[in-house]
Chains A and B, each alone.
Chain A
Amino acid sequence: MCARLSSLLQHPIRPPLALGILFAVVFVAAETVLSLALEFYTGSRALAVVYLLGVLVASYLWGLWLGLAMVLVSGLAFNVFNLPPYGSFGFTENWVWLHMLVFVSVNTASCVIAALARSRAIEADERRREAALAADLAHLLLASEDPGAALPVVSRRLARGLRLPGLVLERGTAVPGEGRRALPLRADGERVATLTYPTDLTEDVRRRLSDRMVASIEALLQVAHDREAVEIALEASRDENRRIAEEQAALRRVATLVARGTSPTELFNAVACEMGLILKADRVVVGRFEPSHATVVGAWSALDDLDSKKIIGLRWPLDQPGVSGRVWRLRQPARMTGYDRATGPVAEWARGEGIVLSVGCPILVEARLWGIVIAFATDPKKEFDGAEERMLAFTALVATAISNAQARADLAASRARVVAAADESRRLIERNLHDGAQQRLVSLGLALRAAEADVPGEVRGRLSQTAQGLTEVLEDLRELSRGIHPAILSKGGLMPALKMLARRSAVPVELEVGLDRRLPEVVEVAVYFVVSEALSNVAKHACASEARVSLWADARAVHLLIRDDGRGGADPERGSGLVGLRDRVEAIGGRMDIASPVGQGTSLSVVIPVEGSSGPSPFSLPFAGQDADKDADKEADKDAGASRQ
C-alpha cells in the first residue's frame, strides 16, 4: 500500500490534466463546504486552512501551474464564501485584504514547495534507479565471459531500467533505422557499441541518456574490453608458455639421446617424432642433403610409426617437384599443397600416402645446409599455421644437437686418426731402422768378415772383435725395433704375430684364433699390443700356470678375450700399461673390460668394431664447405632465373 502510494507519488508521468481540473473543481467545492461547516461549528475562520490540502495535492500531482490555479480558485472561494460581504467578492471590509494576502501567500508558498518536493523526489528516485541500473549493467557485462554476447541482455535491462522500450544497445557500429538516432560508445577510442533510440524522446531524457548513461556504459564497456584484452593476452601467454615448455621438453629428450650416443637413426627418428607431436603433423621425415638427393634418415608417423620407418634410406632427387628440392635451392622453409599433378618418386610416394600438404624447413648446422625436416598432413583441414617459424626454432636447436653429435663423432674419428697416424709412424720408424741402419750394419759386418781373411793374425783378431761388436749393436737395434713395431705383424698379420707372442710368453699360452681375414691395420696393432701387454702382466703379476687367448671376429666387431688362472685382484686403473691400451682401444671405437676377482684369475675382454669404423661420420656435413655452398647458390640462381622466365 505504502509502496504503491510511494510509486504513485513518485511516478514521473503526471496524471492527465483534465483529471486535475476535475479534481480542482471538486476539491475546491468540497473544501468550501467543509470550511463553512467548520466555521459554523467553531466560529473560527482559521480552519479555512483546509484549502491548503487541495493546493498541495494539485501542485504535487499535476504540477506548479495547476497548483497556482488552485490557489487562485481557492482564494476566490475563500473571499466569496468565508469573508464578508458573504456571497460576493470584495477587499474593503474588516481587513479582508489582509486575510486574502495571508491566504494567497501561504498557499502559493506551499504550492511551490510541493512542486519542488515532487521534482526532487522524482530525481532522487531516478538517481537511485540509475545507480541500481548501473550496478546491474556492471554485473551483466563483467560477469559474462564474452561482453559482446551479453550486450542484448544489457540492452533489454537498460531499456527496462530507463523505461525506454525503444532503446537498443548493439555491438559495433549500427546504422539507426528510420526515426531513430545513434549514440556511439567507445572503448580505447574504438567504437565497440552503439546505442540507438527513437527521435521522439524528450530533450530531458535525451540529455540524461547522453550525459549520464552513455558515460557509465562506456566506462563499463572499457573495463570489459580491457578485461577481455587481458584475458586474451593471458591465454596467449599461457599457450606460448605451454608451447615453449613442450618444445623444451622435446629438446631435452633429443639432447639426452645425443648425450647417450644413440645411433643416428634412432636420434633422427626421435627428432621426427618430437617435431610431429609439436606440430600435430601426420608424418614427419628427416632428410640429409647430399649433392643430388636428400636421403631419408629419420621418419615418424602418427598412425603407423613402425611402417613409416620403411622409407628410411630412400633417396629423394632434388631436381624434381617437392619441398626438399625447394628448401635445398632456397635454403628457406617451403610448403607445398597438392601432389596431384607432380611427377617423380616423391610425388608418387606422397600420393600413395594421401598427403595433401607438406612443410619443409632446412636444418642448418654451423651455417651450412645439413638437411631438412618435412612435416606432412593427410588431413585437408590441417593448415600448419605458423609451422615454419616453430620448425625453424626447433631445427635450430636440433642443429645444435647434430653439431654436438658431429663434434663427438669428429673427435672420435680424430682420436682414431691420431692412433692410426702414430701406428703408421712407428711402423715407418721400424721400417727405416731396418732398411737403413740395420741393413748397413749387416753389410759392414759381412765386409769386415771378408776383410778378416785377407789380413795377418793379430789384425784379424781385432777385426773379429769389431765384427762381434757390430753384431751386438745389431741385436740391440733389433730389440729396439721390436718394441717400436712388430715386423711379423705387418708381414704376416695377427695370427703369426699372436703365435709369436704366445711362444715368447713366460706363462704357457693356449691360443684360439678364429679369423678368416686380415683386419684393418689399426685393429691388428691394437689387438697385438693388448695381448702383448696382457701376457706380460700375467707373467709379472698373476702367478698363473696358464693363460688363454681367444680372438674371433664377426661381421661387425673383433672380440678378444684373455684369461688366466692366477690370483686375480688386478686393479686396471693403476700402474699397468693397460690404461694406455684402454685409451688406444677406445680411440678406435672399442671397449675394454677387466674382471679380476681375487683368487679367480683375471679376464680381459676387448671388443673393437670393424665395420664402418673408417667411413665418414653419419652426422658430418654432407660435403665440405665452400664448393657445396657455391653449388647451392648456383642452384638457387638457376631456380630464380627459371621463375623469372
Chain B
Amino acid sequence: MAVRCVIVDDSDHFKVTARGLLQREGIDVVGVASTAADAVRRVDEFRPDLALVDVELGAESGFDVAVRLNGVADAPSVILVSTYSEKDLLELIVNSPAIAFLSKSDLSGQAIRDILRKAGDKDRREGGQSGTTAPTRVEEVQDGADAHDQPGAQAGA
C-alpha cells in the first residue's frame, strides 16, 4: 500500500514538481495545500499518512503548521521540508513534533520511506521505554537508505 501524502507548500512550482516526482516514486500525493488552514482542511479531508510541510509558508511558519497538524485527530506524520539545509535550522527542528526534516533537494520517495521506517522502528522501541523525542536525523536515514528498500511502517498507523 502506497504512502498517502499531503504536500503543504506555498510554491506552486515545487508542489507540481514534487507531486510528479513522488507519484512516480510510489508515494501517493492525495492533496496539496498552501496555507495552515488549507493544510488542516486537506488533512481532515484525506486522512493522509504523511504531511510534507514546507518550513516557510509565506507569512506563516511551517513549524506552527507541524504543531497544529500534530494536534488533529488521526494525526499524520509530519516531515518538514525546506530549501534550507537541515543544519541551518536544526535548533528549530529539534523542538518540532515533526518526525524528520528533509531538504527539498534530497526529496525522493525512497528518502520518505526510509524516514517513516526509522520512525516506526523508534516508535516500537519507545513502546517499552519512554525516552528521547528528538526526530530522526536525515543523515542517519541516508546512512541506511540503500540497504533497506522497503515501504516504511507508517507512523501513527
Contacts and interface: CB of A to CB of B under 8 A. Distances in A.
Answer yes or no: are A and B bound together in one complex: yes
Contacts of B83: 434, 438-439, 442, 474
Contacts of B72: none
A474 to B, nearest CB: 6
A21 to B, nearest CB: 143
A478 B85 contact: yes
B91 A434 contact: no
Interface string B15-53: 001101100100000000000000000000000000000
A105 B21 CA distance: 170
Nearest to A502: B91
A441 B103 CA distance: 13
Given A442-B104, A491-B61, A503 B90 contact: yes
A488 B91 contact: yes
B18 A446 contact: yes
B156 to A, nearest CB: 26
B133 interface: no
Contact of A439 (B13, B24, B63, B90): B13
Interface of A: 434, 438-443, 445-447, 449-450, 453, 470-471, 474-475, 478, 482, 486-488, 491-492, 495-497, 499-500, 503-504
A17 to B, nearest CB: 136
B59 to A, nearest CB: 12
Given A442-B14, A442-B104, A492 B91 contact: yes
B55 interface: yes
Contacts of B105: 441-442, 445-446, 470-471, 474
Contact of A450 (B20, B56, B61, B89): B20
Interface in B71-119: 83-85, 87-92, 95, 104-105, 107-108
Given A491-B89, A499-B91, 19 more contacts: A434-B56, A439-B11, A442-B14, A442-B83, A442-B105, A443-B11, A443-B17, A445-B105, A446-B21, A447-B20, A450-B20, A470-B105, A474-B83, A492-B92, A495-B91, A496-B95, A497-B91, A500-B87, A500-B90
Interface-centre pick from B14, B95, B105 (highest chain A CB count, 10 A): B105
Nearest to B106: A471
B107 A446 contact: yes
A53 B67 CA distance: 154
Nearest to A453: B24
A453 B17 CA distance: 14
A216 B26 CA distance: 134
The contact size tier of chain B is 20 to 34
A478 B84 contact: yes
Contact of A496 (B55, B85, B91): B91
B90 to A, nearest CB: 7
Contacts of B61: 491
A206 B108 CA distance: 138
A450 B24 contact: yes
23 contacts: A434-B56, A434-B83, A442-B14, A446-B17, A447-B20, A449-B21, A449-B108, A471-B105, A474-B83, A478-B84, A478-B85, A487-B84, A487-B88, A487-B89, A488-B89, A491-B61, A491-B89, A492-B89, A492-B91, A495-B91, A497-B91, A500-B87, A500-B90
A499 B11 CA distance: 30
Contacts of B84: 434, 478, 487
A491 B92 contact: yes
Nearest to B13: A443
A438 B110 CA distance: 23
A206 B66 CA distance: 126
A107 B24 CA distance: 174
Contacts of B17: 443, 446-447, 450
Given A446-B104, A447-B17, A491 B55 contact: yes
A486 B85 CA distance: 12
A478 B24 CA distance: 28
A499 B61 CA distance: 20
A488 B88 contact: yes
A491 B60 CA distance: 10
Contacts of B108: 449
Interface-centre pick from B11, B63, B104 (highest chain A CB count, 10 A): B104
A488 B92 CA distance: 8
Contacts of A450: 17, 20-21, 24
Contacts of A440: 13
A453 B26 CA distance: 13
Contacts of B20: 447, 450
Contacts of A491: 55-56, 61, 63, 89, 92
Nearest to A438: B83
A428 to B, nearest CB: 14
Given A442-B105, A450-B24, A500 B91 contact: yes
A316 B136 CA distance: 66
A478 B91 contact: no
Given A439-B13, A439-B14, A496 B104 contact: no
Nearest to B107: A446
A482 B20 CA distance: 30
Contacts of B11: 439, 443
Contacts of B13: 439-440, 443
A143 B102 CA distance: 109
A530 B92 CA distance: 21
B98 to A, nearest CB: 14
Contacts of A492: 89, 91-92
A604 to B, nearest CB: 23
A471 B106 CA distance: 9
A443 B92 contact: no
B124 to A, nearest CB: 30
A440 B89 CA distance: 20
Question: 6 closest A-B pairs (Cβ-Cβ)?
Answer: A496-B91, A442-B104, A499-B91, A438-B83, A492-B92, A446-B17
A106 B70 CA distance: 162
A153 to B, nearest CB: 101
Contacts of A500: 87-88, 90-91
Nearest to A442: B104
Contact of B92 (A478, A496, A504): A496
B137 to A, nearest CB: 13
Contacts of B88: 478, 482, 486-488, 500
A267 to B, nearest CB: 44
B14 A443 contact: yes
Contacts of A453: 24
A48 to B, nearest CB: 155
Nearest to A445: B105
A121 B122 CA distance: 149
A474 B84 CA distance: 9
